[in-house]
Structures are given as C-alpha cells and as structure tokens.
Chain A
Amino acid sequence: MFQIALYTSLILSTAGLLFQVYRFKKKGSLWVPKLKLNLDLKPALFNTIFQSRLFRASKTRWAVHFLVFSGFIYLVFFHALDELTVFNLFQYYQPTLDPFQFLRNFAGFLVLVGCIGFLFRRSFNTRINQDNKIKYKGIFSIILILLVITSGFMLETIKIISEPAFLEMVEDYSDLDEETGLDNLKIYWKTHYQVSFKKDLLITEDTLERGRLLNNDYCLDCHSKIKSAFVSNAFAMHLGKPANFLNHYRADNWLYPIHYLLSFLMLVCLPFSRFFHMLLIPFASARHKVTDKYFQKKAVFIHPATLAACTNCGICSEVCSVYPNFLITRNKQILPHSKIESARKIIFTAHLKPEELNQLQLGNDDCTMCNNCTDICPSGIDLQGLWKTLPQTLQKMGYPDNYTFVKDKALQEWGNKESEKEQATGAHELTENLTGRVYSFENCVQCTICTNVCPVVAYGGNDNDMTPQQIMNLLRLGKKQTAAGTRMVWNCLTCYLCQEHCPSEIKVADIIIELRNISNQAADRLKIMNAADKANKL
C-alpha cells in the first residue's frame, strides 16, 4: 500500500507539474512575447538557499520562515528520504539513534514553531489583513505541514509508549522471555523509555539495574536515550491513561499510514498549493526585470510563472508608498499584494467582476512607481514591471486609464450624462469646492493672461482643446461636467503659472485640479455604467 500511495502521488505530482508548465506556457504565450529566459542564477541560488531577500525585508519573518525551511529540508532529506541519504552515509544509521533521533525531533520542532509563527502573523499583521480573501490564502498548506509534523510526532509518541511494539521488538531482536528477565527490561523501558505497560510492574533498584544491563545487551545499539526525542518524549510522559487505550488498538499501526499519506498529499499538492513557491521563487528571482523590450513588443504582462511565485506574504504592502490612499478609499486594489492576486486571477481564471476590474485599474493608477515593493519582494517578483504593464492589459479589457478614457470620450457624451452625475458628485467628498462656489471664478476679467502663460496652450496644439480661461468661463456658464471632460483639465501640468499670474487672483490651477478630480470620478462611474451596459446586452 505504501508503494502504491507513493507512486500514485509521485505520478500525480509530476502530472501536476507538467500541467502547470503547460499552463504557464499557454498563458504565457497569450500575454508575454517570446523572450529568452535570460536567467541570472547567482541571486536566485542565494535567495533559494538562504532566502536572502526575505532576510533583507524582515529579519523576524526570515527567522520564522527559516525555521520552517531548514526543519523541513532536514526532514525531507534525512527523515523521509533517509534510505537514500543517511543510510548510505552512515553505516550504523538508525532513526532511533542520536543524533538522528534528536535532530528529527528538533527539525520537527522548528517546523512546528515556524508554522505557528505563520499562523500568528496572519492573525496580527495589519496591512495584509485588509484583504480577507488573501488573509487565509495558503493556510491550507500551513495546516497540511502542521498535520504532517504533528502526525509524525504522534506516531513517534505512540511508538514510544506502545507495549505491542516493544514486545515485537523484543521478539525480533532478543531471545528474552518472562524468565530471562523480560520484566526487568520492561521496567527499565518503562522508566527510561516511557513505554506504557498494561500490567503493573514492581520497580525496585535491583530490577532496574538488571533491566539496564539487558538494555545494554540488546537495545542500546539501536536506541539512544529517549530524552533526546524531546518532543515526542514530552508527549509520551504526559499521555497518561489514554496510552493503554491507544496501545490496545495499535495506534502505531494506523498512525503510520496517516503520516505517510499526509506526506504524499503534500507531494501531490506541490504544484497546486502554496508549496509550489518552493519551485517558483527560484525561477522568479532568477528572471530579469521587465525591460523596455517588453513594451516595444507590446507585451502586456510579466511571465505567469513569476506571477505565480507570490506567496501573499504582504510585505510589499507594508512598504507601499500609497498606503494612505488605501486608508481613505478602502480600495484593496491599491495594495500590491491584492493587485498581484487580481492579476493572477486575470491571467489564470479571468473571472473578475467589472467593479473589481475597475477597482484594479484605479488602484494601479494610484501607484507612484516608487519600486519599494519590487525592491523588497522576497520572491523576487518584478512587481513594478507588472504595474507598468497592467494598464495596457486593462485597457484591452475595456478598462483604460481615466486619461485615455476621457480623451476618447466625446464631450457631448460627457455632457449628456451631466444631470445624473450632478446628483452623485459632491456628496460627502472633502474638497475645497472651488468649482462649486461662484466667487472662486466669477472675478475673471477675461484678460486671457492665464491662457497666455500656459505651456499646455502654447505647445499643446491638437492635443489640447480649451484654455484655462475658457475653463473658468465654462464654470461660470454652469458647465462643470463639460469643463471636467476637456483635455485641458487632463493636460494641465499643474505648474501654477496661470494662478501666479492671474491679476484677479483666481486659483486657476487649483480649480483645474479639482475639475480633474471630478473628471476622474465621472470617468469611474461611466466606466462601470458602460461595463454594466455591456453585461446587460450580453
């Protein structure tokens, strides 16, 4: 059965891997131009083995992660695969011998502590928790690890206390029976190896000493002191009465398959769960940044495999420059860890609601390209490359950035929706409200100085429509929405020359900026409306 399970899981895992590779290739061909892989191996190696990027990002998180990583690596290579590794290295190898017994426990302990650390962080980290959907992502993998480790410890514990196992061993490796002092050995093992016997045994110094001698003769070659299995031993010591019960039902026999089945499950899940990051991060951190070549070739995404390397750790969001934007708009798609999740959805499942897409466009628009997230990403994903390419993708999907949207929109269409918008705007929005108050622009004396000093008017040519003064006049004529839809409002450099030169001291630039806010809001609404229209038609 072990063999069947092993091979099945190996086959499944390989199949999964192949599938993923195929998927990346297929999706990749949709989104990414054919570029050489162009790998840079040194940092990748470094990052893979020592998680150097994570170390740079956060020492504590690195410490916790490294607990799991190192423990896990040990367990995989020196426990699960012991037949391939330690057996060949050490002739005398026995899993119950020190240092192996101790190291196994220690490694398991490390993983256990690390995993608890993971869970702990998930409950207390502030920024990542802003997105509940992501908060619990990957928790399956953590729990699976926990289960494997716990089942391992439980198995060991049970084996320690198990009378039947003890008796089997005695039978296999000695010729002892009741007469030849089996009881003495039992007594010794009860005291020093925590075996739980049904029968009460009389413990005296004498019997214990005899048991010790028997132990030296028969057992010591293969069994180090049980104290070194400090986790399982501790469990065993505190197990108490249920031990007999477990012994009776041969818990060791059925815990063993549980343990390896869980382990195999992990293997199967490797390509489909968070475990996959173990393979993807090396790949991601080996890849070069998005270069201009991508843009020239009109590529719209970074490589899907790189994208999949994200572990939702949320460190990127902790350094995000525009976090305050999120605090006000509560648009999760501002935070990089949410954005990348959405990007993954777009590329792999393509199921995003219009509002979500719009939010993503808006959130991504807020990005200042400060590169903080990319710089810190422990997985080495070129996040900024993604943020740069994302607008093109979204535009193709019908969610252009607001500038393009407004530019392509006829002013007429803009004006037609004016009335309905009038109700929606201005509600509870904290602004200077310059555009809403006549006195902020009515003092215009039509001298056209603002227009004359404006670099956009001077160099804009066909790119521009209105002049700053005409914007003021549109406002006076009650055409706020039309004014908001003009290109001038979007082309404005906010250089404040107009405002500085206005003889009537009208806050021309501030008004134009406020109009751009209005225009942005209007564009958002229109885009959602358009999307809804489209959906309705379909």
Chain B
Amino acid sequence: MKKNQHPVKLPLLVATGDDIVETDVLIIGGGVTGTGIARDLTLRGLDVILIETSDLNAGASGGNHGLLHSGARYVCSDPEAAVECATELEILKKNAGHCIEETGGLFVAVKGDKENYITDFPDMCKKSGIPSKKIDPKEAREMEPSLSDETIAVYKVNDASINPFKLSIENINDAVSRGSCYLSHTRIETFKIENKAIVYARVRNQISGEIYKIKAKTYVNATGAWAGSIAAMAGIHISMVFSKGSLLVTSKRITKRVISRLRKPTDGDILVPGGVVSILGTTSVRIKSPDNIYPTVKEVDYIISEGEKLIPELKTCRYIRAYAGVRPLVSMGKGDDRDVSRGFTLLDHEKDQVHNFITITGGKLSTYRLMAEKTSDIVCKKHRVSVECRTKTIPLPSTHSGEWSEPGVLVNDPFKSDALEDPFLCECEMVPASAINTVIDSIKNNGGKPDLSSIALRTRVGKGPCQGAFCSIRILSHLHDRGEIIGQTGINDLKYFLNERWKGEQSLLWGQALVQSSLKEMIHCGLFGLELV
C-alpha cells in the first residue's frame, strides 16, 4: 500500500466558546451536491467550510440506486432532464471514471406492458438525442440470461452505475486537499440575521457538544430533504414534499447491465448492478418527515413482486439489506411524485430578503455536478468571482481512503506478503486492518471522530451478509486497541451501529438472511446481553 498518499493534513479547527471561524462560503449538507459544490467552489479559489449534521451521504445521496441515467428513462416524462442526464453522463465518465462502472443498460418490456409506450420509445429517444438500439429479445436473453422469458422488447442504452459514497468521499477529499474544510457531526443551531443577510451561523459539534460560530460571506443550503427546515431557520418558507423510495440489495450481482422496465416509470422497475451486488428499486411513498425512515415489509414485498416480472430470479434470490432514501421535491402539483419534478430547484433567497443565502435541493444523482455548477455560479456572482466552472474539465482525483468504499476491492499484494500482520477485520467484504487504519486517519484528518458508523460509511464494513454481526465487535476492539475510543462510548457506539444495520435488514429477513440475523441476535443479545445495557 502506498502510505504517502494521505490527504493533506488540515490545521484542526480548535473552536471554543465564542470563537468565530471565518470563511468565504459555508455549505450545509454533506451529500453529493454539498461535496460537489465544495469542490467546485474550491476549484474556483474560494475558501469553503462544509458542515454536515451526521456524516457524508446521510440523506438521499446514500439512499439511491447509484444509477447514472443515460436519460432514456425521462425521454417521455421530462425530455429536458433526459438531455441533461446524457450530457452529464459523458462528463462524469471522463472525469470521475474511477467511481463509475460503465455497465450499459437495457430497457426491457415484458408481456402485458403497454404497447404504445414501447413503440414510442425509440422515437422519443431520438428526439432527445439519446442513443438507443433495438435488440432482439432472444439475443438480450443471451446477454442477460436472467431476464424473463416473457421479454417482448429490449432497447440498449448507455446507463452506468456509480458509487455515490466514493463520489462524495473523493469530492470532499479533493476539496479538503485544496484547502477547504469538512466538519462532520456539526449541526446548525441558529442563523444570526441582520440587514437582510446572515451574519453568522451558530453550530454545534454533535459529539463533543461544542458550540461555535461560523461566519461566511455566503451560505449554501444543500441539505436535500432538510432544505425546508434549514431555510426555516433563516425565516424562509419552502414548500417541501417528501417521497420515500426503498431499495433492496441482493447478495449477488444478477445482471451485468442496468435493467429498466420499458414503461412509464413506476415502482420496482430498475435493477442496477453495483460491484458484486444488484440493487432493486424503488418505491414512491409520500411521507411527512424525512427523518427516521426505513423500508417496510410491505414495500419490500411490493418491490420484489414487481421486479420478479422482469427478472424471475429476484423472487428466490437472497437479499442482504434494504434501505430507503427521501426524494426532496419542491412541489406545487398533485399526482405521482415522480411527475412533480426530477429537475432540481435552485433558490437564491435574495428575493426572500436574505441576500447571502442559497438553497439547492431536488435533482438527481446523475446531475449532481450540474447542480453544483449552477449553485457555484450564483455564489461566484455574489462574490464577484469570475472564474469559469472547472469541474467539467479537471478530473476527480482518486485517493486511497476512497478506495475501500468500493465493493469487492482487493489490494492484492498485501495478501501475499503482509496477510499475517494485516488481519481482515471485516471478513465478508474482506476489509483488512490496514484499510480501517487508513480510513481512521482520513476521518481524523477531516476533524471527525472515528467510530463504527463513520468507518462503515467509508468502507464496506458491515455491508456484507453478516451485517455487522462479527465485524462490529472486532472493529470496536481494534478501535480500543488503537486508543481511538476510550470509556463507555464503545458499547453505545456498537449498539447504535447494529441498530442502524438492523433497520436495513429487518424488512427482508427470511431464508438464509434470517439464519444470519438469528446468529447476530444470539451473539449480541444472547451472549453479550446488549439489550440490557
């Protein structure tokens, strides 16, 4: 392993009492948009602080398919978005290739799907300039043997899959290495508003409880589903609608390509391969609050029953976990939330009488860069900075600490030489201690505190079949051994981590997954009695 590739160490922000930290731009929200903006602005020479109330990709950025749309899905409903997707896809392929797997995609119609949608599809693609190619169903079944034998029409498109965690990690790593600052577990308490502008933001470190102020020239609200509540702190009302989408992760990769149902977008009609697994989704359920969401049994069953029409194997295969994300929609209309707007909402609150506050929300993963670009444009205008956006041209560098978020990554050489000195702490996904150490260092460099959850976010830890049953206690021991955790917090940390994992499993526990989870309960409740602590 190349040890000299750590991100540049930042001077740690020591903020006590009423200390004020000053910066050009304060970005709130560490999803793909937030980290994207951070990188974009940093590249344009601005000084940026990004704060996140928990950790990277806690919201919709971490709760999606990881699909880079070719645009074909939107050709009927939203041709404009379709074109955006297509252009962004090309840019990302060029600049962030290490986060992307160019899988290609198939749009597949099965018996019973609406004829006119199928017949219109190629024309609509052509209109939006999105390449698609008709494929004989028989040939398609040779390409993807798991497709249903009731397949009646297939089109090949350019869909790709992307690892959103890696994307955010690399974005923020690049921003930090260029002098910006990322503060995880930091929550906005209040905004101080004077003269139609925010003077400073009072923030609180969620772990240590420290409260301090960050003074910036401009404040960007990139909190996705929470955009409304953050804006409310500044006295601005945004009408938000929340739509929950649940997704299922299979234990193996079922198809080589992205498979979408060739029909009007609805539930359970996309299967995206991600490394060694496939992700099936989604649903669309209106919810009241974006907090504390998890997939329900009903949703899981519904997604499977829809998905199995496309790929029968989905009925019998093993699922590892389910998760949910919230689509933040700034809505006025009615009907299916998918119809509302998959395009993004960029609000300059100058019109709401707060001059230095911008909200960016909505949108989709595929266009995150564009959203960041547009937001940054406004910020730059306010700062009178006339540098062109550079994320179009400068490739996203690949760093070592981002590597382990990739499923199935193996740094091969250590196995031969250092296997003995470098034990696997997570056996399922084969994450060695050295990788955990790299990630711990990177978290600490970013001013965070390494614990089970933050490590799990940046690695594959806990994402394998055992869902934390074995690795959690091993990594906890490791953290204690390294002195990263001292005192009682360890057990609470363990419980929190297991519970977070549990939210993603509880809805799909049957067959072998239930066996695995029973084992987990036997260890952590039966032996360790954690439920009593």
| Physical contact A–B (CB less than 8 Å) | yes
A107–B466 alpha-carbon span in the complex (Å)? 85
* B252 located at the interface, meaning its Cβ lies under 8 Å from any Cβ of chain A in the complex: yes
Which of B79-87, B131-139, B361-369, B423-431 sits within the interface?
Answer: B423-431
Q: Are B253's CB and A412's CB within 8 A? A: no
Closest to B318 in A: A442
Decide: A470 and B466 in contact? CB cutoff 8 A. no
Best-buried of B251, B413, B428, B512 by chain A (most CB within 10 Å): B428
Asked if B20 is at the interface of the complex by the 8 Å CB criterion, the answer is no
Check B276 against A442 for contact (C-beta < 8 Å): no
Task: Give min CB distance, A265 to chain B, whole Å.
Answer: 62
Q: What count of chain B residues pass the 8 Å CB interface test? A: 28
A residues with CB within 8 A of B = 410-412, 414-415, 438, 442-448, 461-462, 464-466, 469-470, 473-474, 476-479, 482, 486, 504
Is B510 part of the binding interface, using a Cβ–Cβ cutoff of 8 Å? no
Whole-angstrom distance from the CB of A311 to the nearest CB of chain B?
48
Instruction: Choose one: A412, A446, A462, A477; the contact of B470 (CB below 8 Å).
Output: A446
Nearest neighbor of A487 in chain B, beta-carbon distance:
B416
Assess whether A412 is in contact with B428, with CB atoms less than 8 Å apart.
no
Instruction: Given A477-B276, A477-B407, decide whether A445 and B516 contact each other with a Cβ distance below 8 A.
Output: yes
What's the Cα separation between A479 and B465 when bound, in Å? Answer: 16
Q: Distance in Å from the Cβ of A409 to the closest Cβ of chain B?
A: 9
CB distance from B456 to the nearest CB of A (A): 16
The yes or no answer to B410 lying at the interface (CB within 8 A) is: yes
- From B252, B419, B515, B519, give the contact of A476 (CB < 8 A): B252
Check if A411 sits within 8 Å of B512, measured CB to CB. Answer: no
Tell whether, in the assembled complex, residue B465 and residue A444 are in contact, meaning their CB atoms are under 8 Å apart. Answer: yes
Q: Is B370 located at the chain interface by the 8 A CB criterion?
A: no
Query: DSSP class of B's interface residues: helix, strand, loop or mixed?
Result: loop
Tell me which residues across on chain B come within 8 A of A477, comparing CB atoms. 276, 407-408, 410, 429-430
Q: Are A465 and B415 in contact (CB under 8 A)?
A: yes
Q: Is the CB of B420 within 8 A of A462?
A: yes
Return chain A residues, CB-CB under 8 Å to B429: 473, 477
User: Contacting A446 at CB < 8 Å: which of B252, B410, B466?
Assistant: B466
Partner of B252, one of A442, A473, A486: A442
Complex interface residues of chain B between 416 and 474 (CB less than 8 A to chain A): 416, 419-420, 424, 427-430, 464-466, 469-470
Q: A442-B252, A445-B519, A470-B424 are in contact. Are A465 and B412 (CB under 8 A)?
A: no
Interface residues of B in 199-231 (CB under 8 A from A): none
Q: How many angstroms between the C-alpha atoms of A389 and B464 in the bound complex?
A: 48
Q: Which residue of B412, B419, B430, B465 is within 8 Å of A445 (Cβ)? A: B465
Q: Is the CB of B408 within 8 A of A479?
A: yes
CA distance A474 to B408 in the complex (A): 8
A143, B483: Cα distance in complex, Å: 88
If A445-B465, A447-B519, A478-B408 touch, does A473 touch B428 (CB 8 Å cutoff)? yes
Whether the Cβ atoms of B252 and A482 lie closer than 8 Å is no
Chain B neighbourhood of A469, CB < 8 A: 427
Expressed in whole angstroms, the Cα–Cα distance for A455 and B371 within the complex equals: 57
**B430 x A473 contact (CB < 8 A):** yes
Chain B hits for A465, CB < 8 A: 415-416, 419
User: Which listed residue, B408, B412, B427, B512, touches A442 by the CB 8 Å rule?
Assistant: B512
Query: When chains A and B are docked, how far (Å) is the Cα of A470 from the Cα of B410?
Result: 12
Tell me if A446 and B419 are in contact (CB < 8 A).
no
Chain A's nearest CB lies how many Å from the CB of B220? 38
What's the Cα separation between A473 and B430 when bound, in Å? 8
Option from A411, A447, A470 in Cβ contact (under 8 Å) with B430: A470
- How many Å lie between the Cα of A340 and that of B428 in the bound state? 49
